[in-house]
Structure 1
């Protein structure tokens, strides 16, 4: 593709902190951003040239938005896929619709990964309550039940144990299709983040070891340790196959468990990712800049790490430490997302520290 010239407009579907950091990276390269989101309070819109506040299924607003943009991308995977098919032809969409459709369905996602040589934990889809007990019998306990669609940051999940009240769990998960997954014994969780250019070139960042609290990412650390390092190459092969099969353009993340049986695929995210925030200071080119480079047809930037060790800590909910104290730490790179109200589980910012 011909590279998008500076001054062009990049449309971003979604108005959260990922869109905010993408907009900052785009501005550095001379682009304008137009945010489209249904929430009036958008931290991404604060850094952008234009903002459309409308529902994702408002086809009139969506088409007008697309016509105002030279290219469109998205900042999270729960943007409804079907309406986006209506804007193809109005503006290029990178990545396309297919990555959204696959990542929005946990069963389709696992089947897709396994069809390209990956290994997921044992799983069984459950369409109605009557199938739940049978799925648990086949998968065994302990296990985890997840809604097939719309789950993130620990939402839409429930632990299944021997003797669990299945009626309560079914009710709590919204009485909707779910998938029952076997719990995996693992040494660590890690992510493979790649960027694929319009010409098919793929580059990887170092993989981070990730730790969660209450289902929400708390910390990412690079390097990830010997167990993870021994499995990264195999995990990268799968991530590359997925990206190539989708003719993917942009940054994509695949999450894995490092286990005695090798890397176990957990899920994919067709976007920039929280586990890659460390790349802003910790890599020569951040995930946000490389996503903008890729979708705009520019050469990809160097993904090498800039320090021997990098730690990224999320600032979550009401547990944010004193900001003045953080800023007095010469090792701390503080990023606040501009969200006014701190709520339990809400990502308010992050801090990255580099150790050379």
Structure 2
């Protein structure tokens, strides 16, 4: 089958069309919910069946990302393709792009799925990043530690998320074991940042270059996994404005069409340093589903379809608490106890197997202040096992 005639890049893809998603986790699930509410059909492609996205999509295609014939067949049946998971092989995105536009483009995926390429790109384009060194052997790791000092964090160059593929090095004596532990031939050593906050900005950019963002979000992590997000971040207006400007610069530099999250550290002396990028909706933006005029998922639909971006106004201060598989350790959580708090909203992802550290759902709440919203979601989560 030949490649379909190309539509004008500015011709909108209207409701009734079919949108394709590479990946099938909870981000794709919430994207599909937003898209179907707007009248679109959704097809998802991944190696997994009965997936969080597949449960709510119109069609679930189960095949390996390396099966380029299956990828091509998938792409022929949709009007545009996006992804909810950046660890998709570049060849997959390239095969899909022969038959349908991929947004964000494969070049964005190429940069952001590889930590070393990402850091190098950001540094070369003038964005503030954490200090780092490329490492390809235990000997290079020792040399990098002498330059950056300890503690430091050693990460695989590619295929990492939620703390996977990384280890903290407290002293040079740990270098050899740390290198062996990662089982890789290419890594990145990042100097330790004495930060006071972890923050993120989720931006969206349209085909016409229009830009919108959801403001600065404040994040706290546990065991390298996002635990709680609060909006708006409790920082000065200057810091918030600077973070939003950095995010806009990144999206424009990469020529993103779609949604991209810029994760940053705020140092003790109020400097912002980019930690990493995610070229898709982000866990820290889950609260936008309930707390903003337009959610990050609807915004993704609008951006990739060439529609005007929606208002990102925060309706009230809000917070989100992740629900990991640990919550199921003693059986089914006490949902009723948490939902007795009338401000709380429950989102579950349709995953049948609860494992320690696996993201199973989240709670959100809005309140009169960010502090109060955070208190509510933390208390509601505690009630689940009370």
Q: TM-score, normalised by structure 1?
A: 0.96
Deviation at 1:222, TM superposition (A): 1.1
* Aligned residues: CA RMSD: 1.3
Deviation at 1:159, TM superposition (A): 0.7
Question: Does 2:344 match 1:336?
Answer: no
* Whole-angstrom distance in 1 between the partners of 2:272 and 2:326: 34
Aligned to 1:121: 130
Aligned to 1:109: 118
Q: 1:239 aligns with which of 243, 247, 270?
A: 247
Q: 1:322 aligns with which of 334, 339, 349?
A: 334
CA contact (8 A) 2:324 2:360 kept: yes
Aligned to 2:375: none
CA contact (8 A) 1:129 1:175 kept: no
Secondary structure at the aligned position of 1:303 is classed as: coil
More divergent stretch after superposition (205-214 vs 232-241): 232-241
CA contact (8 A) 1:33 1:50 kept: yes
* Whole-angstrom distance in 1 between the partners of 2:123 and 2:67: 35
Q: 2:358 aligns with which of 346, 349, 354?
A: 346
Q: Structure 1 stretches of 5 or more lacking a match?
A: none
Q: 2:222 aligns with which of 213, 219, 229?
A: 213
Deviation at 1:248, TM superposition (A): 1.0
Secondary structure at the aligned position of 1:225 is classed as: coil
CA contact (8 A) 1:285 1:303 kept: yes
* Whole-angstrom distance in 2 between the partners of 1:243 and 1:276: 17
The one-character-per-residue Cα deviations of 1:29-67 (angstroms, maximum 9, x if unpaired) are: 100000000112311001011111011111100000000
* Whole-angstrom distance in 2 between the partners of 1:216 and 1:311: 16
Deviation at 1:241, TM superposition (A): 2.0
Deviation at 1:167, TM superposition (A): 2.6
* Whole-angstrom distance in 2 between the partners of 1:315 and 1:195: 26
Aligned residue pair count: 354
Deviation at 1:244, TM superposition (A): 1.4
Q: TM-score, normalised by structure 2?
A: 0.89
Q: 2:50 aligns with which of 41, 50, 68?
A: 41
Secondary structure at the aligned position of 1:311 is classed as: strand
Aligned to 1:15: 24
Q: 2:319 aligns with which of 305, 311, 319?
A: 311
* Whole-angstrom distance in 2 between the partners of 1:218 and 1:83: 32
Deviation at 1:163, TM superposition (A): 4.7
CA contact (8 A) 1:62 1:87 kept: yes
